[in-house]
Amino acid sequence: MATQTETIYEARPPPHIPVDPAVLPPQLKTTDAQKALYDEVFKHFDKDDYVLPGVENGALTEAEKFWLSYECLLRFLRAVKWASGPAAIKRLEETLKWRREYGVYDLITASHVEPEALTGKMTIWGYDVDNRPALYLRPSRQNTEESIRQVHFVVWALERLTELMGPGVETLALMVNFADRAKNPSLGQARTVLNILQTHYPERLGRAFVVNVPFLLNAFFKLITPFIDPLTRPKLRFNPDCLAEGLFTPEQLMSEWAGSAHVEYVHERYWEPLVRMCAERREKLWEQWRAKGAKVGLREWDIKCAIELEGEAQVAAQPPAATEEPSVEAVVPEAPAVSVAEN
């Protein structure tokens, strides 16, 4: 681990989370009525002859079946407030079509969005106390003209963040710093991003913090607030004290947010390691998913617990290191267990 004065250039891997696969986190538990709605949605997509309506080649791809996890179906049921199975099915099918049309599986690649990443205006780094991966936005580092590729970059980051979520973690922490005379996006682009987040990534925002908001941006936030879902608004907070409020530990919070992690963005040192780490994590997720049947409705919890336990076994199998006095840097604090906190 880096010391308080050491400069950090790379994103951190997901923290180790102690798990008991038999103990489900709270968000995976359902009432009898909710279970009945879930079963209705699951059976709809699990049919052997299911095809996505209104599109060519409507049979689900392997990537789409992987996406349609137990947790995914529950997230969309919560998004429609458990109104009905058909309501959730409609939302899910709209998102399945959007993911195809928008290019989530082919167009939106690391190489496609890399020009947007050159200055570190959007950075994945660290985890909050509930093990949510954090996404830092620094609008003052904007390096491109407004375009659809800027929105693609947001979608690419959201996909990578989901890969870095450990067992029981389904949401992210959004950190926006408007320091250094940051320019706000246009109202149109802000509405586009909000629509994508709320429509196609429901129940993914755990908390959103905004600091250093100038007067003009206060007016901008007032303009976009009506477009923010009522369930999302309470998660948006201005000028929090992340350490004093126990939202982050110092070593997991960037120094510009009063943490002890001095993170410097150097694209050549950050980008490729991040892309590689996410690819390796994604491969592990796919490997476990295939081992468990490669079908709709598999639990992310089971897949990610298997990865955690495999990692523990590998550590236990390593030969003991030579006896020496442990350094402070070698002590890595263990992440809190997820079964005691909502994500």
pLDDT at 342 over 70: no
The alpha carbon torsion through 292, 202, 129, 251 (nearest 10 deg) reads 100
State mean pLDDT over 240-263.
97
List residues bridging with 173 in a β-sheet: 134, 207
Nearest-angstrom CA–CA distance, 75 and 69: 10
Instruction: Tell me the whole-structure pTM to 2 decimals.
Output: 0.89
Give me the pLDDT at residue 221, please: 67
pLDDT tier at 322, thresholds 50, 70, 90:
low
Residue whose structure tokens are 């005691």: 340
Give me the pLDDT at residue 339, please: 37
The 10s digit of each residue's pLDDT in 176-187 is 998 887 677 777
The 10s digit of each residue's pLDDT in 52-109 is 999 999 999 999 999 999 999 999 999 999 999 999 999 999 999 999 999 999 999 9
Residue whose structure tokens are 């196609």: 200
Give me the pLDDT at residue 224, please: 65
pLDDT at 255 over 60: yes
HEC-encoded secondary structure of 160-206: HHHHCCCCCCCCEEEEEECCCCCCCCCHHHHHHHHHHHHHHCCCCEE
The 10s digit of each residue's pLDDT in 12-31 is 999 999 999 999 999 999 99
Nearest-angstrom CA–CA distance, 247 and 206: 12
| Positive/negative CA dihedral, 267, 272, 273, 275 | positive
- Relative to beta strand 172-177, strand 205-211 is parallel
State mean pLDDT over 229-243.
86
The 10s digit of each residue's pLDDT in 206-220 is 999 999 887 666 666
Number of continuous H segments (helices) and E segments (strands) in the chain:
10, 7
The 10s digit of each residue's pLDDT in 27-37 is 999 999 999 99
Q: Is residue 155 within 8 Å of residue 195, measured between CB atoms? A: no
Nearest-angstrom CA–CA distance, 241 and 135: 17
The alpha carbon torsion through 76, 79, 83, 86 (nearest 10 deg) reads -30
pLDDT tier at 273, thresholds 50, 70, 90:
very high
Nearest-angstrom CA–CA distance, 343 and 340: 10
Mean pLDDT, the chain, whole residue set? 90
pLDDT at 327 over 90: no
Q: What Cα–Cα distance (Å) separates residue 281 from each residue in 12, 165, 276, 309, 328?
A: 12, 10, 9, 14, 28
- The amino acid sitting at 51 is V
Output the six-digit token pair for 291: 């081992």
Higher pLDDT, residue 1 or 26: 26
- For residue 98, count other CB atoms closer than 10 A to its CB: 13
Give me the pLDDT at residue 341, please: 40
Q: Is residue 297 within 8 Å of residue 43, measured between CB atoms? A: no
Q: Is residue 8 within 8 Å of residue 260, measured between CB atoms? A: no
